[in-house]
Amino acid sequence: MKNKKRWLLIGVAILIAGLLIGSKVYMDKQQEAKVRKEKMIEIVKSEEAKKEFEVVLTNLDSKALTSDGIINTYSISNDTIRKNPMGGINVVLVINDDANLTIEYTLNMINGHLEAGGVSYSGSLANLLEVNHNE
């Protein structure tokens, strides 16, 4: 009987140790993910990223970010910042505070500089820009 109790205690101790180790690993991974997310936000909000966003915006609308342009303002949607599986960082910009007017970027680090690797924009923004180009 004493032998069964000892094995039961050993089993419980092993189970508790396993839970503690598993919890620690989980918490470390969560912290690591948080640090990665903060680093991506820092990159996306950097002056270098801002310049890259503005280059693309002025390619879409030559008068972007002026009172004469279609694209007057943009903001970064922090909820959309994520690692691109092919490398780089995906981020969505909201144009003129209108959730229907968006541009999604993939920012890549190329030779130590940020560059827009891929850019796509919402149909609503495409329609708005097309109407303006046809006038």
Phi then psi for residue 86, to 5 deg, are -90, 5
Whether the pLDDT of residue 132 is over 70: the answer is: no
* 86-108 tens-digit pLDDT: 889 999 999 999 999 999 989 99
Distance separating alpha carbons of residues 58 and 72, to the nearest angstrom: 11
Name residue 96's amino acid: N
46-78, pLDDT tens digit by residue? 999 999 999 999 999 999 999 899 999 999 988
pTM (predicted TM-score): 0.76
Residue with tokens 């820092």: 42
Does the pLDDT at position 8 exceed 80? Answer: yes
Instruction: Extract the tokens encoding 109.
Output: 């680090």
In angstroms, the CA 91 to CA 40 distance is 10
